[in-house]
A and B are shown apart, each in its own frame.
Chain A
Amino acid sequence: MAVETGSQRPPGETANEGPAASRTLASGAWTLLKRFLTLREGSVIVITVLTIVYFSATVDNFATSANFKTLLPYFAPVAILAAGEVYLMINGEIDLSIGAVYLFAPFIFYKINNGGVPLIAALILALMCCMAVGLINGVFTAVVGINSFIATLGMLLSLEGLTLIISHAQPVDTPGTNVVGGLTTFARTFGGGTYSELIWALVVVAVLQVVLTLTRWGVYTVAVGGNRLGAAEAGIKVRLVIIRNFMLCSTCAALVGVLEAVRTSSVQPDPAGANEVLFDGISAAVIGGTLLAGGSGTVVGALIGALFLGVLRDGLIIKGVNADYLSFYLGLAIIIAMAANTYVGRVRKGSGVG
């Protein structure tokens, strides 16, 4: 759980309460290292750094700024998706419809804009439509009582179908991007600029991590995921917390959908691509140290998980790995990363570190 990561521990209550003077420098450094490794994000950071080192050493043009720019779209969108998903997974729920929302959002944005609504307003309306999708997911899960896996699986299919219906399965040009003579401010801000998606990702992750760690919303999210009955007994409005998080998750997915549509300046009605987005989002969250069982998770971890996935995919591609092998290697790497996570998690439980 993020609420007790090392950084906030006040000086008086550290793991070692022994007299500071008697501690040697070496043991201090060792404590720090141990503390780092047992951070919830520690193992994914180590794995990601190792992966980066490996590719830098074995692939010539990996550690270049050009490649860094290639890498960005692999990871920034996934980080935003995973950030929203982390909230739901901490709640003990899951949202499988993020890929479908990602697909749906730019089309609805296109339709609204085509109806004569200015770009920014159309974007906001599109995000609100997708927020309503989250509301529906939340109501089915928290009020009607359908398992969220099933409810959002249904949403995934219906929304992908709906997208195909309203788009007539035809791609369209993303509004605001087809201007001759360079990018408009709108396009530069919402995905078109080189670092636009990265900045969005960093902002979304930072805000959501702060909300998770330092606000009631975050504490209630953890409480509902950790002990649903207990949370209700304490007076927490469990349904409201779950619905709110579904809405947050859908909004994140919608934002990514629009950012990607603006970046590529076309909206593709491609459910297969959307499903890949879904897998990446959930993988990043899980690799980042969020438990599917609920009660625990970190948004920053999900960002690093997304970076890991991006580096891996990018590195394998530059290395010239055959496309058929790519998925195979990715899958293996995810399992190995998860195994490392679980192992470190066990060590963390054993040690005295939160």
Chain B
Amino acid sequence: MAESGINGEHVVAPTAASDDVLRVEHISKRFGPVTALRDINMHLRKGEVLGLLGDNGAGKSTLIKTICGFQKADSGQMFLHGQPYEPHSVDHARKLGIDTVYQDLALVDELSVFHNMFLRREKVKKPLPFLSNRAMRSEAREALDDIGVRIPRLNVPVARLSGGQRQAIAVARTVHSEASILLLDEPLAAMGAKEGALILDLIQRLKEEGRVSMIMVLHNYVHVLTACDRVNLIQDGVIALDKPTSETSVEELTEIVVEEYRRARQAARAAGG
């Protein structure tokens, strides 16, 4: 039923533009009886910020984790800069220039702020591979100052920090990496208005620099419309809507979701009767 699309529009397979940095074709992923992704087709242009919307459980995080190499798709292909892309680990994807802010942030409470900032990208000395804590600390300080988030002490374990500060660290870590494709899974979820604005500013700045492309999972339509160039909506395991943000509005996005609820309720009622 979802193939019929929403409001009569139907999303065709992604147009293979030459400036696509990432293309995802016919990706599917199941967890036992649950089909998280059925047939995902999506593309990301160079320098673009792509907003990803969808209900809870729609499969947004699953898609992000598939692209970043954390888990394998059951079927389908991906292309990175036109080349077939089959990440076999997070490290591998990172080496190819993809870095992720996970929804659960992937921070280690017991480690200090700067150890978390450099987790799996530690700076070490030569010839003996001891950690260069000093270098990591000062670089972490720069990265956080750059965003404008205030975290007074970088030596404290992140367990001591607030939800927003933790999220800022996770975002700073990924933005500060050398990656050219950033995957951000709900980077504003725990942020207050001020910190959220800081992150949105940061994303705006990155966009102007044009060096990185981003896929951002968001729940707030206003954020989508301010920060993203284009929006994709996942429903029933497929991309059900693909539109430039300039051609859509909060009203339209709300309408789509309301419509979806109405159909779901009808389906439930039909099944019940």
Task: Give the residue of A1, A9, A13, A223 whose beta carbon is less than 8 angstroms from that of B119.
Answer: A223
**Nearest opposing residue in chain A for B118, CB measure:** A219
Q: Does A66 contact B (CB under 8 A)?
A: no
Residues of B within 8 A of A222 (CB): 108, 110-111
CB-CB nearest 4 A-B residue pairs: A235-B90, A230-B106, A233-B106, A226-B110
Nearest Cβ distance between residue B209 and chain A, in whole angstroms?
25
Residues of A within 8 A of B20 (CB): none
CA distance A215 to B128 in the complex (A): 9
Q: Does A227 contact B (CB under 8 A)?
A: yes
Evaluate contact between A354 and B155: CB separation under 8 angstroms.
yes
Task: Give the residue of A4, A13, A219, A234 whose beta carbon is less than 8 angstroms from that of B106.
Answer: A234
Residues of B within 8 A of A227 (CB): 106-109
**Nearest opposing residue in chain A for B95, CB measure:** A235
Dominant secondary structure of chain B at its interface with chain A: loop
Nearest Cβ distance between residue B226 and chain A, in whole angstroms?
28
Evaluate contact between B131 and A13: CB separation under 8 angstroms.
no
CA distance A222 to B90 in the complex (A): 19
Q: Does B122 contact A (CB under 8 A)?
A: yes
Q: Does B194 contact A (CB under 8 A)?
A: no
16 contacts between A and B (CB under 8 A): A3-B111, A3-B115, A4-B155, A13-B155, A215-B131, A216-B129, A219-B111, A219-B119, A223-B108, A229-B104, A229-B106, A234-B106, A235-B91, A296-B110, A354-B112, A354-B155
Dominant secondary structure of chain A at its interface with chain B: helix
Nearest Cβ distance between residue B132 and chain A, in whole angstroms?
10
**Nearest opposing residue in chain A for B132, CB measure:** A214
Evaluate contact between A1 and B111: CB separation under 8 angstroms.
yes
CA distance A227 to B110 in the complex (A): 9
Nearest Cβ distance between residue B3 and chain A, in whole angstroms?
33
Evaluate contact between A8 and B133: CB separation under 8 angstroms.
yes
Nearest Cβ distance between residue A234 and chain B, in whole angstroms?
5
The 0/1 profile, CB within 8 Å of B marked 1, for residues 219-261 of chain A is 1001101110111111110000000000000000000000000
Residues of B within 8 A of A10 (CB): 134, 137
Q: Does B202 contact A (CB under 8 A)?
A: no
Evaluate contact between A4 and B157: CB separation under 8 angstroms.
yes
Q: Does B100 contact A (CB under 8 A)?
A: yes
Interface residues in B102-158 (C-beta closer than 8 Å to A) = 102, 104-112, 115, 119-120, 122, 124, 129-131, 133-134, 137, 152-157
Nearest Cβ distance between residue A36 and chain B, in whole angstroms?
17
**Nearest opposing residue in chain B for A231, CB measure:** B108
User: Interface residue tally of chain B, by bracket?
Assistant: 20 to 34
Q: Does A295 contact B (CB under 8 A)?
A: yes
CA distance A352 to B154 in the complex (A): 13
Task: Give the residue of A8, A230, A235 whose beta carbon is less than 8 angstroms from that of B108.
Answer: A230
CA distance A10 to B115 in the complex (A): 15
Task: Give the residue of A8, A9, A226, A233 whose beta carbon is less than 8 angstroms from that of B104.
Answer: A233
CA distance A234 to B137 in the complex (A): 19
Residues of A within 8 A of B70 (CB): 232-233
Nearest Cβ distance between residue B167 and chain A, in whole angstroms?
13
Evaluate contact between B156 and A354: CB separation under 8 angstroms.
yes
CA distance A4 to B157 in the complex (A): 8
The 0/1 profile, CB within 8 Å of A marked 1, for residues 77-112 of chain B is 000000000000111001000001010111111111
The 0/1 profile, CB within 8 Å of A marked 1, for residues 47-74 of chain B is 0000000000000000001000010000
Nearest Cβ distance between residue A219 and chain B, in whole angstroms?
6
Residues of B within 8 A of A226 (CB): 108-111
Evaluate contact between B90 and A233: CB separation under 8 angstroms.
yes
Residues of B within 8 A of A352 (CB): 156
Residues of B within 8 A of A8 (CB): 133
Task: Give the residue of B65, B105, B157 whose beta carbon is less than 8 angstroms from that of A354.
Answer: B157
Residues of A within 8 A of B91 (CB): 235
Residues of B within 8 A of A223 (CB): 108, 111, 119
Evaluate contact between A235 and B89: CB separation under 8 angstroms.
yes
Given A216-B129, A226-B110, A227-B108, CB of A236 within 8 Å of CB of B119:
yes
Evaluate contact between A219 and B131: CB separation under 8 angstroms.
yes
CA distance A10 to B133 in the complex (A): 10
Residues of B within 8 A of A13 (CB): 153-155
Evaluate contact between A233 and B129: CB separation under 8 angstroms.
no
**Nearest opposing residue in chain B for A294, CB measure:** B110
Q: Counting chain B CB atoms within 10 Å of each CB, which of A9, A225, A226 scores highest?
A: A226
CA distance A10 to B112 in the complex (A): 14
Evaluate contact between B90 and A215: CB separation under 8 angstroms.
no
Evaluate contact between A230 and B107: CB separation under 8 angstroms.
yes
Given A4-B157, A10-B134, A235-B91, CB of A215 within 8 Å of CB of B109:
no
Nearest Cβ distance between residue A237 and chain B, in whole angstroms?
8
Residues of B within 8 A of A215 (CB): 124, 129-131
Evaluate contact between B120 and A235: CB separation under 8 angstroms.
yes
CA distance A262 to B122 in the complex (A): 42
CA distance A83 to B163 in the complex (A): 35
CA distance A9 to B133 in the complex (A): 10
CA distance A69 to B39 in the complex (A): 73
Residues of A within 8 A of B134 (CB): 10
Evaluate contact between A4 and B124: CB separation under 8 angstroms.
no
